[in-house]
Structure 1
Amino acid sequence: MHIRNRRAFVSGALFLIVAIAYLSIGWDYDPGSAARMGPGYFPRMLGSLLVLLGLAIMIGAIRPGATEEGLDGWDLKSLAWITGSILLFAFLLNAAGLVVALVGLLFVASLASREFTWRGAIVTVIALTALAVLAFYYGLGLQFDLLPSFV
């Protein structure tokens, strides 16, 4: 077996690893049925879909017509920006509210991009913050403060 596209193959393998984690975590929970879902339904469905997706990606990486592509090294700077943005969001969510936490998350995460521009970051922050507030606060009714309590 010759792996032609190493990047795709490793991506497929990561999907399989996450799928196995979801399946193993949710295996002991009652799946219920599609009409009456139990706590194990979502982990099993998501795990099954990730298995299929991972296998499809891995098979595509070894097929004869696949593009030859190597595996690049880790971009530790971008990884640090993304990880930092998630930690900042977790810290700010209860202390400063959903809007401030999302703005912080999106600005810091956008610094990880090689194509970063302030204009693009501002447009992205406005659009995604509005979408997230509409979906999670108003649509799903999640109990987060929108803004800091001192405002």
Structure 2
Amino acid sequence: MEEGDAVFGSSAEVNLDPEVYWWHDKYRPRKPNYFNRVHTVYVWNKYNQTHYDRDNPPPELVQGYKFHIFYPDLIDKIKAPVFTIEKDGTSAETCVIRFHAGPPYQDIAFRIVNKEWEYSHKKGFNCTFERGILNLYFNFKRHHYRR
């Protein structure tokens, strides 16, 4: 300390009115917005052709999913969100797909059909993260019955 200086500590601090900043709502923990679609089809095999028609169609089967998840306010914009597939404890026919992106977004999860995925780009697989939007498209493998 030099001559004429005094300690200026916490006793001199003045309490200010709570101020709301422009980034106050932007970085609070929240779930991301999403727009998802399920792709279903009718399977017209010989049994269904015999027992069903266009007026009374057979049950629809899930062929694939399209996920659009919006992360516009990610703190770390370089690190892309990831998804993981987890077993569903209640059923062997379904599984849980979980999306994790990091702060300020919380994880979200969806229950989907538990089938083998088709990872070929020609068969519709797409996983991209551009301009804060995660796009995940996939179809399931189709096993045709042959004698």
Task: Indicate the TM-score class for this superposition, using the shorter chain for normalisation.
Answer: under 0.3
TM-score by length of 2: 0.26
Instruction: Return the index of the structure with the highest Cα Rg.
Output: 2
TM norm structure 1: 0.25
